[in-house]
Chains A and B, each alone.
Chain A
Amino acid sequence: MEWLLNKIQGEKTFRLSFTYQQQKKWLGLFFSLPALVLLFTFLILPVGLAFVYSFMEYNMLNPAGKTFTGLSNYARLFQDAIFFTALKNTLYFSVLVVPLQCAVALGLAILVNKKVKTAVIGRVFFFSPVVTSMVVVAILWTFLYNVDSGLINSGLNFFGIPDQPFLLSEGQAMNSIIFMSVWQGAGFQMMIFLAGLKDVPETLYEAADIDGANAWQKFMNVTLPSLKNVTGFVLMITTIQAFRLFIQPYVMTNGGPSDSTKTLVFMLYENGFQFRDVGYSSAIAVVFFLVVLTVSLILKKVLNQ
């Protein structure tokens, strides 16, 4: 009797799971289809098109005149002085912003990880610029950086420092953008570091205490090594983010003065949507992609060592 019951039960499960397996196959494809179609149309296809267009003479104002011209867009790019300025500016921004922002973020994370009452307020305050969008922040700081009526110059005057031109000067514009970007973004990385700090075992600090280590030694020998993976990750995302610099120069300086804040993405935008030059702009896009890819691969290699 029991044997029979088991047999029926077994068959029932078998039959059901068999049809379920079949359903799974079809439904699996069916469920993933919307996402796959969308990803193909709006991501994979455009990636392919970027490569194709980069070998073409193609202007949106004259779509009929589309022709393949081989490497001419790339040849033009590597003779374009603005391209090298943009590349230099992008690198300059990244080289300064990445270590600064990560260091500030780590410092803030350590500070608000302390067990004091104001730590929670600190977390909220340091994070609040992240909540504010980059456009909002860029407009706000354009006023703050204003030469005559800006709050920053009035603050500097208080300490006896004369008015600075900030965004209006070729020498200071990019640095002003860097300063603001660090302020806006550090809270983001702070949160990631904070999550990493929570995972550092308390016993390691206790052991260091017993060894008589001071705060700096604890930071160098316990905190930093424990945060190795987190730091690597933070460096990676901050670098990629830095290379994409666009909103700040677009809103604050329009790439100026005299191209001193023109970046690769700014140049890509300008050629694509102001001059409507799809071909040339696509070549910039491809080069931009390769630069970002190369930098992240190098960074990954260095960090893994």
Chain B
Amino acid sequence: MSRTWKKRFYKIGLSLSILLLGLLFISPLLWMIIASVKPETLIFKDMGIQSFLPKQATFDNYLAILFTDSVNFLKYMWNSLFSVGMIVLLGTVVNSLCAYALVKLKFPGSGFILVVIIALYVVPFESVLIPLYVVVNSFGWINEFPSLIVPFIAEAFSIFLFIQFFKGIPNELEEAAQIDGANPLQVFWKIVVPNSKPVFATAAILSFVTHWSDFMWPLIVATDDSIRTVQVGIQYLFTDNNIEYGQIMAALTLTTIPVVLIFIFFQRYYVQGITSSGVKG
């Protein structure tokens, strides 16, 4: 057999193994999505390869989970979107301003603050969980939206990310604006921000994805149904004796959609966020 044929076979074999392994990898998620469009009676009746074939596709499970009055799934989704949206919005403003101040507007003590911020990065969230609860409780925020938002606006890693990027912006750019009579806030808004879109996108997406899947903190501060987030809320869909598996699968699928959308539309920044989180060690 000639060399080119050998190479061709190798390539075909490789392509097929990646595809097969990939399909095996996503089969649990595939099953979740397919079960969500199946009538309840068929979900566990179909076994083996049958369980991946939706012979009678129906959106009843989705309609039930979204529009049944006794199910608060939409409310949970909204609570999550709102609180995570606020974290992202306020967080990018607060963290980028802080990073800009530390890098470009060196003031007395800024070097020390920088060291402290980097050091804070090693603290695992779980070890401050209880005292944080005590602090938030003393503000009267338990079961109020600020408890889900305010503690997560300032984030050491996000500041760090912005610092890394801002360092690369040449000072000449800012100096030119200064000579034109711009004050530091104008310089930040008109020079730094427009030149730093990638890092804003990366920080925002990383923050969204992280906090969208937050579980432990909402579990303890948002115990009331009215502010319960979706990650905690989906637990409450199957505590009843009568479990509707199709509806649960529909809820699980819907819970995943926001991050899937981000992955589809902002893949580059999402992946950049992951790889840049590599710098943090």
Contact = CB atoms under 8 A, between A and B. Distances in A.
B251 to A, nearest CB: 9
A149 B245 CA distance: 12
A126 interface: yes
Q: Which of B94, B116, B152, B212 has the most CB of A within 10 A?
A: B94
A50 B259 CA distance: 33
B179 A192 contact: no
A118 B19 contact: yes
Given A35-B159, A119-B18, A285 B184 contact: no
Contacts, number: 273
A140 interface: yes
Interface string B182-202: 011100100000000000000
A35 B19 contact: no
Contacts of A268: 126, 129-130
Nearest to A112: B18
Contact of A122 (B22, B31, B108, B238): B22
B256 A136 contact: yes
A151 B48 CA distance: 7
Contacts of B120: 39, 43-44
B153 A38 contact: yes
Interface stretch (A77-85, A163-171, A203-211, A233-241): A233-241
B259 A131 contact: yes
B89 interface: no
B248 A139 contact: yes
Interface stretch (A16-24, A68-76, A94-102): A16-24
B25 interface: yes
B255 A289 contact: no
A282 interface: yes
Contacts of A26: 107
Interface in B126-143: 126-136
Nearest to A31: B101
Contacts of B154: 34-36, 38-39, 42-43
B130 A131 contact: no
A191 B122 CA distance: 23
A1 to B, nearest CB: 22
B15 A191 contact: no
Given A27-B101, A116-B11, A282 B130 contact: yes
Given A17-B178, A272-B133, A39 B275 contact: no
Grouping DSSP codes into helix (H, G, I), strand (E, B) and loop, the A interface class, with mixed when no group exceeds half, is helix
Contact of A47 (B28, B94, B123): B123
Contacts of B26: 125, 128-129
B113 A32 contact: yes
B213 interface: yes
Interface string A116-140: 1111011011111101111111011
B235 interface: yes
Interface residues of B, number: 92
Interface string A268-295: 1100110000100110011011001100
Contacts of B134: 46, 49, 53, 60, 278
Contacts of B131: 45-50, 53, 282, 285
A144 B278 CA distance: 32
Interface string B236-253: 001000000100110010
A250 B215 CA distance: 10
A221 interface: no
A292 B125 CA distance: 12
Contacts of A158: 48
Cβ-closest 3 pairs across A and B? A125-B22, A28-B105, A49-B131
Given A36-B113, A46-B131, 7 more contacts: A23-B183, A29-B101, A36-B98, A129-B28, A188-B274, A237-B280, A240-B124
19 contacts: A17-B178, A24-B184, A28-B107, A31-B188, A35-B154, A36-B98, A49-B135, A60-B134, A116-B11, A129-B25, A135-B235, A151-B28, A151-B31, A188-B274, A192-B275, A237-B280, A269-B220, A273-B133, A286-B127
Interface of B: 11, 14-19, 21-23, 25-26, 28-29, 31-32, 44, 47-48, 51, 94-95, 97-98, 100-102, 105-108, 110, 113, 116-117, 120, 122-136, 150-154, 156, 159, 175, 178-179, 181, 183-185, 188, 212-213, 215-216, 220, 231-232, 234-235, 238, 245, 248-249, 252, 255-256, 259-260, 263, 271, 274-275, 277-278, 280-281
Interface of A: 13, 16-17, 20, 23-32, 34-36, 38-39, 41-50, 53, 60, 111-112, 114, 116-119, 121-122, 124-129, 131-137, 139-141, 143-144, 149, 151, 154-155, 158, 183, 188, 191-192, 195, 230, 232-234, 236-237, 240, 243-244, 246-247, 250-251, 265, 268-269, 272-273, 278, 281-282, 285-286, 288-289, 292-293, 296, 300
